[in-house]
Structure 1
Amino acid sequence: MVRANGVAMHVQQLAPDDPPADQLAGDASRTGPPTAVLIHGIATDNLASWYLSLAYPLASAGFRVVMYDLRGHGRSDRPPTGYRVDDLVDDLAALLDELGIAGPVHLLGNSLGGTIAFGYAVRHPGRVASIVAVEAAPATTRWLTRIRRQLAAALGPTRPAAAPGGPGARYLTALRNLVATTSAGQDLPASTPLAAADLHAIDCPVLGVFGSESAAADLAPSLVHLLPQARVVVIQGHRHAVLVTGRDQVRDQVLPWLLDQLGSGPGPTPGGSPAGASADPAGMAVPRR
């Protein structure tokens, strides 16, 4: 447990395996292993989704891996207020300071975690080496409107039925509990939106990963529009939980891309797409059939 920004936060770390000698050759200034910070999503999510998917592959590839439970989630404190995106960015910044991590770090965010990663990169551009956003987008006005509608639909009297005991039912129960015990339901939609000028501060490489059957897949084109340096991969046959349900496919896209940012690994050729993907005319990467 680490106290950061006034919140006791549950943190787990994995030490890196020894990276190959040539892995860090592209960064002569690096004096230690690269750090990957993994940020989870809302409601039922916690650091376990990363622990059971990409955490060990990242450590095996030579990354120091840091995972934590967001405020109000997992084993971290659940304060009654402080759930705007800026608050969650403040939590991340304070946590990295408490851990003595000056950066630049590789941020990997799932759903809301990706939104937090973008917000952190806007406010601390020199401390971010790259961003992997799974089913996520920056907190633009469009994103905030979408969150407001999703919360209203999920919590309202006409919310869609979910199979008892299934993932949908567990998500709704956790979301209702979070909203009933904190100001998250009001805070998130009331977050300060990021404008185009804000997003220009994000000049690091960005990889977006979406499930083809996810309701969030329509965010992919706007991600490329907002961040021209972004590369987007769509994993066929998966929904919003693609990080877990498509764990192997996500790993096979993310690891080569991250290693390429370090100056090693197969990665995409200049102007090309990640291994196993091909680019469509809009500049998005889609799996080959």
Structure 2
Amino acid sequence: MAIGAVIWTTLALGALAGIAPVLREVVRPRIDGARDTAPGAFAALSRGRTHYRWHGPEGGPVTVCVHGLTTPSFVWEGLVPGLVAKGHRVLTYDLYGRGYSDRPGGAQEAGFFVGQLEELLVDQGVDGPVTLVGYSMGGAIAAGFAARHPDRLRELVLIAPAGLGHDLGPVARLVARGGVVGRWLMLAVFPMSFRRGCEAEREVPTTVPGIVDRQQAELRWRGFVPAVARSVAGILAETQDETHAAIARSGVPVRAIWGAKDTVIPLSRKARLAEVNPDAYQYVIEGAGHGLTYTHTDRVLAAIMA
């Protein structure tokens, strides 16, 4: 083969490899087709349909649970029965880009998700005080809502909350810078990395049946990986020190729960929260990693109800 042909073949193969992650994303099915069997219901909000579920007795004190970056609202399935047993009326929902909710484009900064929560509460007629529980990235969303609407909260519960410092790995650090390269890296590398991370918890006891397979199934749907990328470059790139200081000034009771072995939101962030909100009650669950809501559910529930 002539040198010129070798060069062109190499360039063509390189171009194909370059566009392959984009093509894989384009041919993935939309989530719409899976909604017929979805539990719960859907709210038509300004940026798209949002999947939600109510649990527990009507008339009970309302608790709203906000999930994190990659695992949709089913992450709460182990915790919700305990809250319901205590008489709570619990609302869980899928953030945009996850679960059964729509995948709108655009930046996913804190205001993007706070707006979704605001609209959902209006749609559901929730106008009284609520207990707001946020896990991981959901903690950053819950904090943003609390700073904006302190009068709407009975209490703010943060479980391994983002916004005070975290480490999602070297690829996430590149993605956080934004740009075409970051988005391409996310499409090319994240699916394999995500599967590997999920598989690492395959033998870990959990209160959410089939959670590893259900987490990985999110990769099937178009828009999930781009949504994760937008969140990494958006809300997860924001520092919430002033947000938590505003919550402290407002007097909203704050309860924070940390995993002693968490490598994503490390325990050292507990000290940072204490600096900006000295009045926050803080609990450490020994032996727990970042999946503490489903691996150490009883102890998380006890900390919430303490």
1:117 deviation in Å? 0.8
2:259 aligns with one of 190, 211, 236: 211
Structure 1 CA distance, aligned partners of 2:134 and 2:74? 13
Query: Relative to structure 1, is the Cα distance of residues 213 and 194 closer, same or farther in structure 2, using a 3 angstrom cutoff?
Result: closer
Query: Relative to structure 1, is the Cα distance of residues 224 and 5 closer, same or farther in structure 2, using a 3 angstrom cutoff?
Result: farther
Where do residues 12-91 of structure 1 align in structure 2 (5 Å cutoff)? 12-16=53-57, 32-43=59-70, 45-50=71-76, 52-91=77-116
1:84 deviation in Å? 0.7
Q: Which residue of 1 aligns with 2:6?
A: none
Structure 2 CA distance, aligned partners of 1:204 and 1:150? 36
Query: Relative to structure 1, is the Cα distance of residues 72 and 167 closer, same or farther in structure 2, using a 3 angstrom cutoff?
Result: farther
Q: Which residue of 2 aligns with 1:180?
A: 226
1:3 deviation in Å? 1.6
Q: Which amino acid aligns with 1:4?
A: L
Query: Relative to structure 1, is the Cα distance of residues 161 and 146 closer, same or farther in structure 2, using a 3 angstrom cutoff?
Result: closer
Q: Which residue of 2 aligns with 1:249?
A: 299
Q: Which residue of 1 aligns with 2:50?
A: 9
1:61 deviation in Å? 1.1
Query: Relative to structure 1, is the Cα distance of residues 64 and 124 closer, same or farther in structure 2, using a 3 angstrom cutoff?
Result: same
Tell me, what secondary structure is at the counterpart of 2:261? coil
Query: Relative to structure 1, is the Cα distance of residues 240 and 153 closer, same or farther in structure 2, using a 3 angstrom cutoff?
Result: farther
Aligned partners of 1:122 and 1:201 also within 8 Å: no
Aligned partners of 2:245 and 2:277 also within 8 Å: no
Larger radius of gyration: 2
Tell me, what secondary structure is at the counterpart of 1:131? strand
Structure 2 CA distance, aligned partners of 1:107 and 1:205? 11
Q: Which amino acid aligns with 1:232?
A: Q
- 2:253 is the counterpart of 1:198: no
Q: Which residue of 2 aligns with 1:25?
A: none
Aligned partners of 2:47 and 2:104 also within 8 Å: no
Q: Which amino acid aligns with 1:206?
A: V
Query: Relative to structure 1, is the Cα distance of residues 222 and 177 closer, same or farther in structure 2, using a 3 angstrom cutoff?
Result: same
Aligned partners of 1:211 and 1:240 also within 8 Å: yes
Structure 1 CA distance, aligned partners of 2:47 and 2:107? 11
Q: Which residue of 1 aligns with 2:283?
A: 233
Structure 1 CA distance, aligned partners of 2:260 and 2:197? 25
Q: Summarize deviations over 1:164-219 as a string: whole Å, max 9, x none.
A: 86057977996896443663343235557552653444421111111110022111
Aligned partners of 2:245 and 2:276 also within 8 Å: no
Identity %: 28
Structure 2 CA distance, aligned partners of 1:194 and 1:67? 26
Structure 1 CA distance, aligned partners of 2:121 and 2:197? 39
Q: Summarize deviations over 1:258-281 as a string: whole Å, max 9, x none.
A: xxxxxxxxxxxxxxxxxxxxxxxx
How many residue pairs get aligned? The number is: 236
Q: Which residue of 2 aligns with 1:124?
A: 149
Structure 2 CA distance, aligned partners of 1:122 and 1:38? 17
Q: Which residue of 2 aligns with 1:27?
A: none
Q: Which residue of 1 aligns with 2:181?
A: none
What is the TM-score when the length of structure 2 is the normalising length? 0.67
Q: CA RMSD in A?
A: 3.3
Aligned partners of 1:9 and 1:69 also within 8 Å: yes
What is the TM-score when the length of structure 1 is the normalising length? 0.70
Aligned partners of 1:125 and 1:201 also within 8 Å: no
Structure 1 CA distance, aligned partners of 2:197 and 2:68? 22
Higher fraction of helix: 2
Query: Relative to structure 1, is the Cα distance of residues 202 and 72 closer, same or farther in structure 2, using a 3 angstrom cutoff?
Result: farther
Structure 2 CA distance, aligned partners of 1:58 and 1:165? 26
